[in-house]
Amino acid sequence: MYRSPITRQAPFRLAAFHKMLTGRILGSGAYLPERRLGNQELALTIDTSDEWIQARTGIAARHIAASDQNTSDLATLAAMRAVSNAGIAATDLDLIIVATTTPDQTFPSVATMVQHRLGCKPIGAFDIQAVCSGFLYAIATANNFIKAGAAKRVLVIGAEVFSRIVDWQDRGTAILFGDGAAAIVLGAEDAESGRGCLGFKLCADGQFHDLLQVDGGPGFAHGQVGKVRMQGKEVFKHAVQILSTVSDEILAQYSLQSAQVDWVIPHQANRRIIEASAEKLGIPIERVIITIAEHGNTSAASIPLALHQGLSDGRLQPGQLVMLQALGGGFTWGAGLIRI
Ligand code: UT7
């Protein structure tokens, strides 16, 4: 087949001028609602105790949104802090992705509400629903926009008011969940700088549908708002196995060893799950950022809350390698590697 010299040379010319891009964290922010519900107060309404909750989950308290606060309110506050921390203006953003399972309404998306309240330009804005893995799915998507050259500054938010879908009479779930939001700004970075996202591995398997679900909601399958239903023991067992497997897989994908990981930032579901997965991975617990005690399981907000904590208290330093890990309803799960 005849190929003109121009066609043959074009890809080489393009490669010479086209920088490989990746997303680097430019700033972060978080917001927890004022109302703090401690274990002892919770034990006044259900048959449980502070000792049991602390020992079996590592949770001391969770935060509950006020009745006039919705996910978009929490998300906007976290987003404003992240944008300010990144040292940019909201008008510099060119994409907003919100990970949430508890949107204010079926539509419009929470992301469009945040876009309007921040005073952004009419940029792309959409929600992602992958429950507790939502932030991982969102940051992976944001990074792909950056890699493709389709966005330079992306606001990625995890925000939930899970308290609205918790059955407060069910001690198997009421002790675990809480409300909160956290956000990061991901900015385009020359991949050769050695900083930014290395990559992500996202997975899902719907065969686990019944182990963790809401028996209602905007899907209309049940004709009711619905509450979280969980077979806790089963989820626990699968979570430890799945999280250590996906962590090994992503390390192998990038030819890295667990000893090269400076920090693990896991989804904050249960301290015992976090400890067991870290042990299987061979990472000392001192190198895992754990914030569950103060806010419980905030679903899609939990990884960015821990990430923000690590960035703001100085544990996470430029150049360090961080692994994100999550598992949630579906099941959905995944892992990611980022150089701060
Ligand atoms: O973010 C999405 C992923 N979600 C998760 O990862 C959650 C996974 N699961 C868990 O975190 C744990 O399974 C729970 C914290 C939900 C439960 O802990 P467990 O160690 O699996 O407890 P269990 O269900 O096996 O129950 C042990 C005992 C039982 O009593 P008996 O039968 O031994 O007498 C329960 O009735 O603890 C009892 N129990 C409680 N006692 C006090 C169960 N829940 C409570 C409670 N307070 N809240």
Tell me yes or no: is domain 21-193 CATH 3.40.47.10.
Answer: yes
Q: Which residues contact 292 (CB under 8 A, 6 or more apart)?
A: 57, 58, 59, 268, 269, 270, 271, 274, 302
Catalytic residues: 132, 267, 297
What pLDDT score was predicted for residue 222?
76
Question: 132: Cβ below 6 Å to ligand 1?
Answer: yes
Atom 48, ligand 1: residue with shortest CA distance: 171
User: Measured at the alpha carbon of residue 181, what is the angle toward residues 258 and 248, in degrees to the nearest 5?
Assistant: 15
In the chain, the N- to C-terminal Cα span, in Å, equals 48
For residue range 302-316, list pLDDT tens digits in order: 999 999 999 999 999
Q: Averaged over 277-291, what is the pLDDT?
A: 97
Least confident interval from 182-186, 205-209, 219-223: 219-223
Confidence of residue 126 (pLDDT cuts 50, 70, 90): very high
Judge residue 34's burial from the number of C-beta atoms within 10 Å of its C-beta, 0-12 exposed, 13-18 middle, 19 or more buried: exposed
Q: Where are the beta strands (DSSP E) in the chain?
A: 21-31, 35-38, 61-64, 95-99, 124-128, 153-161, 179-190, 196-204, 212-214, 228-230, 263-266, 321-328, 332-339
Specify the residue with its C-alpha closest to ligand 1, atom 46: 48
At 217, the pLDDT band (50, 70, 90 cuts) reads confident
Tell me the DSSP string of 214-270.
Answer: ESSSTT-SSSS---EEE-HHHHHHHHHHHHHHHHHHHHHHTT--GGG--EEEE--S-
Higher pLDDT, 12 or 264: 264
Superfamily of domain 196-339: Thiolase/Chalcone synthase (3.40.47.10)
pLDDT at 167: 97
Task: Please count the residues of the chain.
Answer: 340
Q: Residue 54 above 60 pLDDT?
A: yes
Give percent above pLDDT 70 in the chain.
94
Residue 123 has pLDDT above 70, yes or no: yes
> What confidence score (pLDDT) does residue 17 get?
59
Q: What is the pLDDT of residue 3?
A: 52
Q: Does ligand 1 have an atom closer than 6 angstroms to the CB of 302? A: no
With cut-offs at 50, 70 and 90, classify the pLDDT of residue 136.
Answer: very high
Give the mutation target among 37, 209, 213, 236 for probing the ligand 1 site: most ligand atoms within 8 A of CB: 236
pLDDT in tens, 163-181: 999 999 999 999 999 999 9
**pLDDT at res. 238:** 97
pLDDT confidence bin for 225, thresholds 50/70/90: confident
Residue 12 has pLDDT above 90, yes or no: no
Answer whether residue 34 shows pLDDT above 90.
Answer: yes
Q: In this predicted structure, what is the pLDDT of residue 19? A: 86
Average pLDDT, whole number, for the chain? 95
Give pLDDT, residue 21.
98
Per-residue pLDDT band for 223 (boundaries 50, 70, 90) equals confident
Q: Taking 60 as the threshold, does the pLDDT of residue 13 lie above it?
A: no
Token look-up 């049940």 returns: 222
In ligand 1, the atom with minimum distance to the C-alpha of 239 is 6
Rounded to two decimals, what is the model's pTM? 0.94
Contact 75, 110 (CB under 8 A): yes
Rounded to whole angstroms, how far apart are CA atoms 19 and 27? Answer: 23
Residue bearing the CA closest to ligand 1, atom 2: 328
- pLDDT exceeds cutoff 70 at 9: no
User: CATH topology of 21-193 equal to that of 196-339?
Assistant: yes
Q: Which atom of ligand 1 is nearest to the CA of 267?
A: 1
Domain residue spans of the chain: 21-193, 196-339
Buried b (16+ CB within 10 A) or exposed e, 286-316: ebbbbbbebbbbbbbbbbbbbbbbbbeeeeb
